[in-house]
Amino acid sequence: MCGIVGYIGYQLAKDIILDGLKKLEYRGYDSSGISIIFEKGKLETIRKVGKLKNLENELKNLNLNGNIGIGHTRWATHGKPSEINAHPHTDESGKLVIVHNGIIENYMSLKNELKSKYEFKSDTDTEVIAHLIMDNYKGDLYQAVKLALRRIEGTYALVVMHADNTDYIIATKNSSPLIIGLGENENFVASDIPAILNHTRDIIYLDDQDIAIVYKDKIDLFNKEGNKVSKNISKISWSISAAEKGGFEHFMLKEIYEQPFSITQSLAGRVSEVEGKIYIEDLNLKIEDLNNINRIVILACGTSYYAGIVGKYYLENILKIPTDVDYSSEFRYRNPVIDNKTLVIAISQSGETADTLAAIKLANSLGAKTLGILNVIGSAISRETIGNIYIHCGPEIGVASTKAFTSTLTCLYLFALYFAQEKKMINSDYIREKISNLKHVPKLIEKIFSPNSIKNIKNISNKLANFKDCLYLGRNYNYPIALEGALKLKEISYIHAEGYPAGEMKHGPIALIDKNTPVIAICTESSTYDKVFSNIKEVKARDALTITIATEGDLNLATEVDYIINVQKLVKRFHLL
């Protein structure tokens, strides 16, 4: 999910790769590494935790002159940030090196199969790929990669290099981005365009499961069927700063569009539709622990707090365990009632939120079982909790959280299912159905990004832009979503907004509703649909502009409200639960 740069040509590979990795630094990372073939049969690998500067300083002391190499900045998903876990990873001979972005879903079963033959040095999912390729290697690297890929399930951008081979490097991808940059007597591979814009603007986008053999003066490209193909060369006109944002106006927009992928990553390796089973690694809670829990407390701030309220509804609906959601900044300064039968869940994208860190320390001191739902492996909160569920949404640069919110919801839902599964409260058929629904979510989100839907949303935004106040309403699951919507509007548009449970509207806020206060009501098909519908009528009676988020095909609402934003129905029944 972070940075990859590969180079083959006539210049010093380490300079090109380091420069490329620097251009990807904006994405955030926890460690970095580089491998250079400095003479046929010989390569050197340097890996460092922390800033790229550490790698750069080490490289200064080495006379590493080679024209072929690969480099990586890591955003840990499996195994904490450490030198051993940093990429490139190598096979046992030390001659094959790989860099990888993404998640290998079946790495545990592959590791179990390969560990009797090869010594594993890291905790990463990535290392299995190195051993698997060498397990298939009979002198032809392309064939070995091709055979290895047949066994791999998951997402990857992968670059492979072998010390005995100074003619080419191999690049391939599945779901994670990877491009090839074309030069004069030199070629580049990168996970993102800014890494190579200083050298070339001619780019080939790889399709999923393409394998590219990248020579310095040509590219041989094979599609997933193994047929040789040729691809169009795209000319990139973006500046480096536009390229960083993938052509989007700002990072937040880019991250909004990343959600189908980030949710897929949150599910990766954790759901088996065939078995009807949820797997959550690193939880460190035994069945005795789970059976002992009689109360759950979720601690969080801001957007994570609202995700926590949705989590409460999931947990109470599925597990029937009373669940409270508390602001970390309140919890830490009170005398909260917590004991060893309480499970305390800290939610934080960065894993460094100061109030949540202090709150989880307090929960620990009171004897609670503690769990983190976090994005950053090895972060401060992850070191305090008994177990952690990583949301795997990749680096979030936008200050206002978007993709981390939906990935957190995904993980909270998975956790509720997992907990119920371990306690044998639900059977595999039930879980299978939920998994099938979950896997469908990314496709439905994509529909919201269709040109017509975006045009409609832009039009509504233009209408809203000149108002000073705005009210968001929702009930049940859509109540915390209304709170999150209001928070986003405040943070991003500087328009005052309040989120309310729609049923509370008549107990105060109604006094403020008039033609100057637009109301955004979330009124999707659900058990509270009729109730929200009535609230919308009350709003209309006060001449407020009404904008409704509705289930596609809802003709009743369409005639009632001023504007509609449609979302797709996931299942025929009312809700995900």
Contact 31, 377 (CB under 8 A): no
Q: What are phi and psi of 128, to 5 degrees?
A: -60, -30
By CB under 6 A, residue 265 contacts ligand GLU: no
Torsion on CA atoms 342, 345, 346, 348, rounded to nearest 10 = -170
Among positions 8, 49, 76, 263, the unique one binding ligand GLU when judged by CB under 6 A: 76
By CB under 6 A, residue 74 contacts ligand GLU: yes
DSSP characters over 451-503? HHHHHHHHHHHHHHTT-SEEEEEE-TTHHHHHHHHHHHHHHHH--EEEEEEGG
CB of 18 to ligand GLU, least distance (A): 17
By CB under 6 A, residue 270 contacts ligand GLU: no
By CB under 6 A, residue 75 contacts ligand GLU: yes
CB of 101 to ligand GLU, least distance (A): 4
CB of 475 to ligand GLU, least distance (A): 39
Residue type, 186: E
- How many residues belong to the site for ligand GLU (CB under 6 A)? 16
By CB under 6 A, residue 267 contacts ligand GLU: no
Q: Interface residues for ligand GLU in 79-98 (CB under 6 A)?
A: 79, 85
Residue nearer to ligand GLU on the CB measure, 98 or 564: 98
By CB under 6 A, residue 110 contacts ligand GLU: no
By CB under 6 A, residue 100 contacts ligand GLU: yes
Q: What does the alpha-carbon distance between residue 55 and residue 49 come to, in Å, rounded to a whole number?
A: 8
By CB under 6 A, residue 44 contacts ligand GLU: no
Q: Count the Cβ atoms, other than its own, within 10 Å of residue 84.
A: 15
Contact 86, 58 (CB under 8 A): no
Residue nearer to ligand GLU on the CB measure, 124 or 209: 124
CB of 140 to ligand GLU, least distance (A): 26
By CB under 6 A, residue 103 contacts ligand GLU: yes
Among positions 32, 126, 264, 348, the unique one binding ligand GLU when judged by CB under 6 A: 126
CB of 277 to ligand GLU, least distance (A): 22
Residue nearer to ligand GLU on the CB measure, 85 or 551: 85
Sheet holding 342-348, edge to edge: 323-327, 295-300, 342-348, 369-374, 387-390
Contact 76, 30 (CB under 8 A): yes
In the numeric block, the tokens 């169009």 are attached to 232
Q: What does the alpha-carbon distance between residue 41 and residue 43 come to, in Å, rounded to a whole number?
A: 7
By CB under 6 A, residue 67 contacts ligand GLU: no
Angle 490-495-496 from CA coordinates, rounded to 5°: 75
By CB under 6 A, residue 124 contacts ligand GLU: yes
Residue nearer to ligand GLU on the CB measure, 38 or 107: 107
Q: Interface with ligand GLU by CB under 6 A: which range of 118-126, 163-171, 321-329, 412-420?
A: 118-126
Q: What does the alpha-carbon distance between residue 146 and residue 345 come to, in Å, rounded to a whole number?
A: 42
By CB under 6 A, residue 216 contacts ligand GLU: no
By CB under 6 A, residue 135 contacts ligand GLU: no
Contact 34, 17 (CB under 8 A): yes
Interface residues with ligand GLU (CB under 6 A)? 1-2, 74-79, 85, 100-103, 124-126
